[in-house]
Amino acid sequence: MNEPPTDLDLVSEPERPYHHGNLRAELLKRAWDSIELEGAEGLSLRALARELGVSHGASARHFKDKQALLDALATLGYERLNRALSGLSSSAGPFETRFKAAALAYVKFAVSHPRLLRLMHAAKLHPEASATLHELSCATLRTLTDAIATAQHGGEARGGDARHLALVAFANFHGIATLATDDLLQGMAWQDAAALSIGFTWQGLAPARQEQP
């Protein structure tokens, strides 16, 4: 929904130019920084345009309303998160090493960007969420599922439904990330909690040890 102008906006906001270099990128950067500090509730396209010295109409050319901006921010967040997890799909190195590194990268992203992560999960459920956002939001679990299936074929992971194993694994390290961002780790460093959780999760994924002859 478009944000209606207030009386103060109509009186005090002078006409501003429509061009500001790469305005879309500048709006996203300012919005990202704002959410990191204060969350999405107080985010305003009109205020962002005012900070950048352009008209509200100029910002509306890139984002029709606040929800469109939140969708774009969530999309950017998933793109960055998926890049952080890209090593999981690599064929280099043992699957155990790649799995643990990807799980730790997810927890680190969540701890570093808690408000953004909440926005990302909320935006993908919005009725007006874009197809791109839907696709990117499913990539983490899909990548983990594919990686487990590949590891199973190579004897690097236990048998079973790869989708179910991926879901349980994701629940474990997402749960640690949530506890960390909500300050519920009882004083334990998030790195230590993540290492313990990821280690236990790996025990459930590791292939059965073969009997020695």
Interval 84-101: pLDDT, tens: 998 888 778 899 999 999
Mean of pLDDT values over 158-184: 95
Higher pLDDT, 60 or 158: 158
Q: State the fold for domain 69-205.
A: Tetracycline Repressor; domain 2 (1.10.357)
Rounded to two decimals, what is the model's pTM?
A: 0.80
Contacts 24+ apart (CB under 8 A), 36-45: 36/113, 36/115, 36/116, 38/115, 39/115, 39/118, 39/119, 40/70, 40/115, 40/118, 40/119, 40/122, 43/69, 43/70, 44/3, 45/3, 45/69
86, two tokens: 């890209």
Residue 99: predicted pLDDT: 96
Contact 67, 126 (CB under 8 A): yes
CATH number of 7-64: 1.10.10.60
Per-residue pLDDT at 58: 76
Band of pLDDT at residue 21, cut at 50, 70 and 90: low
**Domain extents in the chain:** 7-64, 69-205
SS3 186: coil
What value does the mean pLDDT take over residues 105-117?
A: 94
Q: Who's near 85: CB < 8 A, 6+ residues apart? A: 102, 105, 106, 140, 143
pLDDT, tens digit, for every residue of 182-212?
A: 999 999 999 999 999 999 999 999 998 743 3
Instruction: Count Cβ atoms within 10 A of the Cβ of residue 71 and give its class: 0-12 exposed, 13-18 middle, 19 or more buried.
Output: buried
Residue 11's pLDDT is: 31
- Distance in angstroms (rounded) separating the CA atoms of residues 139 and 136: 5
Q: b/e string for 136-151 if b means 16 or more Cβ within 10 A?
A: bbeebeebbbebbbeb
State pLDDT tens for residues 45-55.
Answer: 887 878 887 87
pLDDT digits (tens, 9 = 90+) for 139-152: 999 999 999 999 99
